[in-house]
Amino acid sequence: MTDPARASGAAPADHGVGSAEPNTGWSTDPEAPRPPDAPRPADDRSTGRSFFAELPFLVLVAFVLALLLKTFVVQAFFIPSSSMEPTLLIGDRVLVNKLVYEIREPRRGEIIVFTQEDAVPAEQLEPNPIRRFLGSLASGLGLAQPAEKDFIKRIIGLPGDTIEMREGVVLINGEAIPEAPTAEGGYLSTRDLNDFGPVTVDAGHYFMMGDNRPNSADSRFGLGQIPADNIVGRAFVVIWPLSQLGGLPIPGYDVPAPAAAEAVRQAADSPRRSGAPAFAGLPLRP
């Protein structure tokens, strides 16, 4: 019998496992004409154009997210002076938590950033709003010093506290707080032997001091007491340089209530009136 395929001149079908390309209904030759319903091959050029078309939108989204983060959550700050040495050095960058004081009150010993409205004259501020905004963003990322006057100090006095300094020792409500120079295991550069006070911290205000106590313009001199509304947030970690990367812990203080301050302060002063060494009977706690 004659094979119909052979009789018609067509090649026999190959049903073996080694068969060639499946019959898709169109040629795989790139030069051959394609049926109208055939899928179009990917065009690398159109993919590249799509990415560059979306790039401005992606940059805008990143910009807005960075702005929201800086404004409401965390902001980086540049350390411009030596007032917090040795804890923070000139050129260090710290991150500041801007939400923490929405949840609780500031605590003694915390390092905070605050603003001082009268510290920079209006004529020294950048008049161009776009440059001012870009400068603010750069300072928020810790890449530049802020145009506005921000300060970073340690909270020493809380509202209602009575603060004074005698022979380099800070008394809060009549009791010496456990501060010490770094040579003695503390955080101070050295003690400031200038006496100060006593003064009482107003309601809704905080009393700040720098860790470089003899070389710090703080609530004792110039800055005065800081309103709670001026507090930006708590500095909680050093992020630059990497060799200084680490947290900023809160020292533990235990002082008497403000109501007992005057009686305890008079008791602390009495040895000096009799010629005995100052702060006899008031040793610093370890």
Q: Which helix (H) or strand (E) holds 242?
A: none
- Indicate if the pLDDT at residue 264 is higher than 60: no
| Residue 251 phi, psi dihedral angles, 5° rounding | -65, 150
262 part of a folded domain:
yes
166 part of a folded domain:
yes
24 part of a folded domain:
no
Average pLDDT, rounded, for the chain? 73
Residue 153 among the catalytic residues: yes
- The token pair that represents 136 in the structure block: 């603010």
Distance CA 128, CA 3 (A): 91
The per-residue pLDDT for range 1-16, each reduced to its tens digit, is 445 444 445 444 444 4
Average pLDDT over residues 68-76: 70
Q: How many structural domains comprise the chain?
A: 1
Give CB contacts under 8 A, 24+ apart, made by 221-230.
223/116, 223/151, 225/157, 225/201, 226/114, 226/116, 228/101, 228/106, 228/204, 230/114, 230/115, 230/116, 230/117
**Inter-CA distances, 207 with 159, 164, 172, Å:** 8, 11, 11
Sign of the CA dihedral 147, 152, 158, 162? negative
Q: What percent of the chain has pLDDT over 70?
A: 53
51 part of a folded domain:
no
- Exactly one of 70, 83, 98, 139 is catalytic; name it: 83
29 part of a folded domain:
no
Note the pTM of the prediction, 2 decimals: 0.62
Question: Given this model, what pLDDT does residue 116 score?
Answer: 77
Residue, of 137 and 61, whose pLDDT is higher: 61
Quick one: pLDDT band at residue 65, thresholds 50, 70, 90? low
The per-residue pLDDT for range 94-130, each reduced to its tens digit, is 999 999 999 999 999 999 999 976 544 444 444 555 6
The per-residue pLDDT for range 154-206, each reduced to its tens digit, is 999 999 999 999 999 999 999 999 899 998 889 999 999 999 989 999 999 99
Question: Given this model, what pLDDT does residue 208 score?
Answer: 96
Distance CA 232, CA 230 (A): 6
Question: Given this model, what pLDDT does residue 69 score?
Answer: 60
- The token pair that represents 264 in the structure block: 């305890």
Question: Given this model, what pLDDT does residue 197 score?
Answer: 87
The one-letter code for the residue type at 32 is: A
Of 68-82, 206-220, 253-267, the range with the lowest mean pLDDT is 253-267
| Residue 79 phi, psi dihedral angles, 5° rounding | -90, 115
E runs forming strands in 79-201: 93-97, 111-115, 150-157, 162-166, 169-172, 175-176, 196-200
Residue-number span of the structural domain to which 172 is assigned? 75-273
Query: If we measure between CA atoms, which residue out of 124, 115, 221, 209 comes closest to residue 171?
Result: 209
| Residue 219 phi, psi dihedral angles, 5° rounding | -65, -15
The per-residue pLDDT for range 15-50, each reduced to its tens digit, is 444 444 455 554 555 555 556 565 555 555 555 567
- Exactly one of 136, 153, 189, 216 is catalytic; name it: 153
Q: Are 234 and 98 in contact (CB under 8 A)?
A: no
The per-residue pLDDT for range 196-251, each reduced to its tens digit, is 989 999 999 999 999 999 999 999 988 899 999 999 999 999 999 999 999 999 98
Distance CA 198, CA 172 (A): 9
- Indicate if the pLDDT at residue 257 is higher than 80: no
247 part of a folded domain:
yes
1 part of a folded domain:
no
The domain spanning residue 83 has which CATH number? Answer: 2.10.109.10
Give buried/exposed letters for 151-171 (b at 16+ CB in 10 A, else e): bbbbbbbbbebbbbbbebbbb
Residue 189 among the catalytic residues: no
Query: If we measure between CA atoms, which residue out of 66, 68, 78 comes closest to residue 148?
Result: 78
| Residue 38 phi, psi dihedral angles, 5° rounding | -75, 140
Quick one: pLDDT band at residue 268, thresholds 50, 70, 90? very low
